[in-house]
């Protein structure tokens, strides 16, 4: 079957024209969808902006992407993580594209969207102001893959403005197809991670990054801000490896090797100037042979930092967990000893059929899709629920029950079961696109209930589970869905994809927190979402004890255009969820 990409090129060749995407036109509505800006964008093709445009500049390893006047730094950070993983990068950005003749003005990208890989097509007309790109762009080269990939991403969301509400974790998931997880490094002065945890994380098919989220959304400003030691706020530093430095005094210092995606190629510097940096006096504590051994491990933009300094500098580990099949595309993950096995279920919450709401609704909770999880050995698993309703996101979460003591399960469990049995794991409830939670489970059977917070709310969703010895099965249950539970909300917002290998049509626009330049912020602030948290008390009765759930809900509210506070709460999990440090890999 001829793909949409090849068909468009063939049609343009016959007509002798460059492609113009009618589904995402070069108009103001593709940038803003709520208001009209006080200025007009000029849409230009790359050869109208520079004389010698290139798609991807393979001659340099430098990541020189900047957000421009109106772009998003969170997306720049996402692309930095992707760019350092070349196997994954070329899955998203097919390399067989360029500006050489014959040229038809069409580009294709692959993005993980609503539980599947989609091929998104865009024309090469990009919004400019005074002849310069308004959004993402390469600073020192004529590479146009950043602006074109950003356009494809904006097309999925419905507009460039919608990217203003994006989050880094959602972006990493969309660009890699992995399950993302944020791990707090410390709470107050209590360090939650230890070297064995990092070793275990580095042994898996996961991309591990360190970042600083200080509660002020500085990471989405156009100019990066740096600490005195040179570490940039809001940039994801790749955690590459760990080692120990043997000192002259006979003791050891635990070191971590990090990579700055913004490091300059020609200088081979990382911008880090703290202890164990290139010219630090810390190296006087070790022999020359030991220093050479450690320095020789460093690649472009990499540096050593002590484990202690890492815990004092960064606030979060942000992880992208990839299944073994996806990890094969990435050479840096090819030799990992622990490979994630992923199981996927795609379903829908349908009013009166499968939309029972959370445990606060004991008379309808049981009608939610019931997924059985089987483990053959004790292990840590990561459960992720992703909602496909991104234009009007629902508050979602999930609950896990232990079925090891339950006999003769022949079908769906009734509401009597849920009134008599206490849950084992409760996620946060949030209106973010994805909610994930790591839990340590013994061998046996478990029940996963993915739900909306309120009953009768309709949306499509995906459940993904990562582990080593897992099976996932849907209990025989609800009536077949005869209608699409998530119809297109705006017929003018369409997505051109190669649907030859895709059978699902899932559409939506995301809403989350981020910001542009002040003029862009001012025009869109009316629709801004903030995260607030509120508690949910489960009124259901249990034989053993009452249990509580907590819900995090994003509420629309006016904001100032500077120093927007990130109100996301890090706590709020259910009563049976152990502290964060106890839910990570066991040492």
Catalytic residue set: 260
Cβ neighbours for 377, distance < 8 A, ≥ 6 positions apart: 443, 468, 469
Q: Report phi then psi at 388, rounded to 5.
A: -95, -5
The CA distances from residue 504 to 212, 470, 529, 578, in Å, are 37, 25, 29, 37
Residue for token pair 């909300």: 489
Query: Could you give the count of Cα atoms lying within 13 Å of 21 in the half-sphere of its Cβ?
Result: 31
Does 97 sit behind a cis peptide bond, omega within 30 degrees of 0 on the bond before it? no
* Bridge partners for 119 per DSSP: 110
One DSSP character per residue, 143-203 reads: B-HHHHHHHHHHHHHTSHHHHTT--HHHHHHHHH--EEEEEESEETTEE---HHHHHHHHT
Nearest to 548, CA basis, from 538, 539, 557, 556: 538
Backbone angles phi, psi at 253, to 5 degrees: -125, 125
CA separation for the pair 563, 368 (Å, rounded) = 40
- The bridge status of strand 186-187 relative to strand 341-349 is unpaired
Query: For the stretch 390-421, what's the b/e string if a residue is b when 16 or more beta carbons lie within 10 angstroms of its beta carbon?
Result: bbebbbbbbbbbbbeeeeeeeebbebebbbeb
């Amino acid at each position: 079957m001829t793909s949409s990409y090849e068909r468009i090129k063939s049609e343009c060749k016959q007509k002798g024209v460059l492609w113009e995407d009618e589904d995402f036109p070069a108009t103001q509505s593709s940038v803003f969808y709520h208001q009209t800006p006080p200025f007009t964008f000029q849409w230009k093709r790359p050869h109208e902006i520079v004389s010698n445009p290139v798609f991807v500049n393979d001659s340099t390893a430098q990541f020189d992407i900047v957000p421009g006047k109106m772009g998003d730094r969170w997306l720049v950070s996402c692309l930095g993580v992707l760019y350092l993983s070349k196997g994954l990068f070329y899955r998203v950005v097919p390399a067989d594209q360029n500006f050489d003749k014959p040229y038809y003005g069409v580009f294709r990208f692959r993005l993980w969207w609503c539980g599947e890989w989609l091929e998104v097509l865009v024309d090469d007309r990009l919004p400019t102001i005074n002849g310069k790109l308004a959004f993402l762009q390469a600073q020192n080269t004529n590479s146009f893959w950043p602006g074109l990939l950003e356009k494809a991403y904006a097309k999925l969301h419905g507009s460039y403005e919608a990217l203003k509400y994006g989050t880094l974790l959602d972006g990493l998931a969309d660009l890699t197809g992995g399950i993302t997880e944020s791990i707090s490094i410390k709470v107050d002065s209590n360090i939650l991670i230890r070297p064995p945890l990092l070793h275990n994380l580095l042994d898996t098919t996961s991309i591990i990054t360190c970042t600083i989220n200080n509660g002020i959304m500085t990471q989405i400003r156009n100019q990066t801000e740096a600490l005195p030691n040179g570490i940039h706020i809001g940039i994801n530093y790749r955690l590459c490896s760990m080692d120990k430095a043997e000192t002259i005094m006979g003791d050891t210092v635990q070191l971590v090797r990090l990579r700055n995606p913004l490091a300059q190629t020609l200088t081979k510097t990382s911008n880090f100037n703290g202890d164990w940096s290139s010219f630090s006096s810390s190296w006087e504590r070790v022999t020359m042979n030991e220093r050479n051994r450690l320095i020789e491990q460093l690649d472009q933009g990499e540096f050593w930092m002590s484990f202690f300094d890492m815990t004092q500098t960064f606030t979060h580990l942000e992880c992208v967990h990839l299944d073994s099949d996806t990890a094969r595309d990435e050479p840096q993950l090819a030799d990992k000893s622990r490979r994630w096995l992923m199981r996927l279920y795609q379903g829908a919450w349908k009013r009166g059929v499968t939309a029972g709401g959370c445990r606060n609704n004991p008379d309808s909770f049981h009608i939610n899709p019931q997924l059985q999880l089987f483990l053959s050995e004790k292990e840590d698993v990561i459960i992720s629920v992703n909602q496909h309703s991104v234009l009007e996101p629902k508050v979602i979460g999930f609950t896990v029950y232990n079925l090891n003591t339950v006999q003769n399960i022949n079908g769906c469990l009734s509401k009597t079961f849920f009134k008599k049995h206490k849950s084992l794991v409760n996620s946060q409830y949030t209106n973010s696109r994805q909610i994930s939670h790591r839990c340590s489970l013994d061998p046996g059977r478990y029940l996963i209930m993915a739900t909306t917070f309120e009953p009768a709310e309709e949306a499509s969703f995906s459940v993904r589970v990562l582990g080593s010895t897992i099976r996932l099965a849907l209990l025989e249950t609800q009536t077949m869905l005869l209608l699409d539970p998530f119809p297109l909300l705006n017929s003018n917002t369409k997505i051109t994809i190669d649907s030859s290998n895709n059978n699902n049509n899932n559409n939506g626009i995301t809403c989350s927190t981020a910001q542009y330049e002040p003029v862009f912020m001012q025009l869109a602030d009316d629709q801004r979402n903030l995260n607030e948290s509120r508690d949910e008390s489960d009124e259901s009765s249990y034989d053993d004890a009452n249990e509580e759930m907590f819900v995090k809900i994003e509420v629309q509210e006016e904001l100032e255009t500077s120093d927007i506070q990130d109100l996301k709460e890090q706590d709020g999990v259910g009563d049976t969820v152990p502290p964060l440090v106890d839910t990570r890999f066991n040492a």
